[in-house]
Chain A
């Protein structure tokens, strides 16, 4: 088996044309019939997309409603008077800036740690054969199987003994070493042919170098997926911050918003939705920008028969 990719340089990522783009054009691609199909197809897709976004639209519309208008009978989709000032009030009347800062710090650090330690451990599980590996992996998976509420109190007591309650550090420690990242990266590493690693080993690379210079660059889609999903989950987490963050300066966005509503005589849900809408924007931006990383083609070229 001739391996044409040797040496210390990792395979180059190239943009490969994707399935469907290089199909030879036939009669069915042009003409009125095809156009009608495309239009109907696009129309269906648009309807589908709108259906996906309906609750979000309702949320945004509700954020602009007056008090006592959000939950009403019959339901109102659009506000009677548009309260744009909610978006200003949210910054001035609440601690939104602090909450955002805390949430950004928390989400970024947890994501970074999860991706780093997760992919590192995944390499051990995927590429190194040692006794007890499978059992240990099952133990990891097992902990995902237990609902967090079942052990959150003993866990809390443990962290309280370590004087970590009411700190962001507690949440970082809780969420940075999860099994999810290990699992995701392990599955992805398994799709990377062993020959690449072997070639690198022959070249004298240590396992750690293989991880850093071969595995990681080839796993950009999986790393991107892991980073995005971890970021979103940490961003939207409510119960964890609720249990651990007691002082106002430590609150995250979800916690601050819920508290703001509870502390409001009228339980003004419109402000809650204003906050939630603002909270969704960073995630949407991250997703839009990061999309191309999921769809990046990877080159496994260079491996010829």
Chain B
């Protein structure tokens, strides 16, 4: 047992580092299958993207290295500023609204009553419906003169109902509504799965303690949903920053020219990269988008970590 009699400081360290090595190998053995595919297929092109952002490449890779020139240009580009603003505006509305609606749906439909599966399926249908159909029907619903939505508004006494998708002020709210309608089924499923992990006994205990529905929600459901809430918030935020296809099909005229009211970052990137062939410049925009998402994610990560402590 002489080996055990060693420098008291050194023993824990050596054991700790041995443990760290063992854990590293163990952790990597789990991660490796997924990570290998991910690294080769996704990570390498993404890193390439970062390099391209420092050049003025056109889409064929011809151009020069210009360092941070693209980023300097971005700062003074009115279209970029507009898309950044619109992206924040869209996300600020879309994220809370979708969380509330999809969580509400999940709570409401988390029962085994008869007929509930019909409603759950109905909630999921917008997500699987073709985007062409979605764009057309919602364009009709939001039609300023003939659409049902404005007819209802007029019936309720609103004198000048908004122009929705054709107006500068109301186009983005209209897009947010449609987008939430479409996404809620997706996030509802994530919440439903998460709700199953909340232990039943806690509800029982709370009820025994005299907690009402609202109190049970705040003290049992929400804390139990924390990991799922983190998942949903991060995914939803990133998806909102990245929104693209819905904006395109809902732009009036369908000529894909950026509409000042709804142009977002992804559209800016597409416009500069594929329409104007300024690939380096577009990549710089993508890098900005990346950092926005990372910062938002890190903030949420830290909040999540603190809550779980």
Point out residues on A near B: beta carbons under 8 Å: 16-21, 45, 49, 52-56, 58-59, 62, 71, 74-75, 117-118, 120-121, 123-125, 128-131, 133-134, 136, 138-147, 149-155, 158-159, 173-174, 176-184, 187-188, 190-192, 207, 211, 221-222, 224-225, 228-229, 232, 236, 269, 272-273, 276, 280, 283-284, 287-288, 291, 294-298, 300-301
Contacts and interface: CB of A to CB of B under 8 A. Distances in A.
A130 B26 contact: yes
B196 A131 contact: no
Nearest to A19: B203
Nearest to B118: A49
Contacts of B196: 221, 294-298
Contacts of A118: 34
Contact of B37 (A117, A142, A147, A296): A117
A239 B259 CA distance: 23
Contacts of A229: 186, 189-190
B31 A124 contact: yes
A228 B186 CA distance: 10
Contacts of A158: 44-45
A143 B30 CA distance: 20
A127 to B, nearest CB: 9
B54 interface: no
B254 to A, nearest CB: 11
* CB-based closest 9 A-B pairs: A124-B30, A177-B37, A145-B293, A121-B34, A150-B286, A117-B34, A221-B193, A128-B27, A49-B122
Contact of B120 (A176, A187, A291): A291
Given A124-B28, A141-B234, A145-B290, A151 B122 contact: no
B186 A155 contact: no
Interface of B: 20, 23-24, 26-31, 33-38, 41-46, 48-49, 52, 59, 110-112, 117-130, 132-134, 136-138, 140-141, 146, 181, 186, 189-190, 192-194, 196-197, 199-201, 203, 216, 224, 227-228, 230-231, 234-235, 238, 241-242, 244, 266, 269-270, 273-274, 279, 282-283, 286, 289-290, 292-294, 297-298, 301, 308
A152 B270 CA distance: 12
Contact of B136 (A53, A58, A173): A58
A288 B121 contact: yes
Contact of B30 (A120, A147, A178, A184): A120
Contacts of B141: 54
A143 B46 contact: yes
Name the residue in A55, A130, A192, A283 with the highest tally of chain B Cβ atoms < 10 Å from its Cβ. Answer: A55
Contact of B231 (A120, A184, A287, A295): A184
B290 to A, nearest CB: 5
Contacts of A295: 110, 112, 192, 196
Given A187-B228, A190-B227, A55 B128 contact: no
13 contacts: A18-B112, A19-B203, A59-B129, A59-B130, A138-B294, A141-B294, A145-B242, A154-B48, A176-B37, A177-B38, A187-B228, A190-B227, A221-B192
Name the residue in B41, B124, B289 with the highest tally of chain A Cβ atoms < 10 Å from its Cβ. Answer: B41
A191 B197 contact: yes
B190 A55 contact: no
Contacts of A191: 194, 197, 224, 227-228
Given A49-B122, A52-B181, A183-B235, A142 B293 contact: yes
Given A120-B34, A131-B20, A221-B192, A147 B266 contact: yes
A52 B123 contact: yes
Name the residue in A20, A53, A146, A276 with the highest tally of chain B Cβ atoms < 10 Å from its Cβ. Answer: A146
Given A147-B242, A184-B231, A154 B26 contact: no
Contacts of B301: 134, 138
Contacts of A297: 196, 200
A18 to B, nearest CB: 6
B129 A288 contact: no
B238 A55 contact: no
Contacts of B41: 155, 159, 173-174, 177
Contacts of A54: 137, 141
Contacts of B137: 54-55, 58
Name the residue in A128, A140, A174 with the highest tally of chain B Cβ atoms < 10 Å from its Cβ. Answer: A128
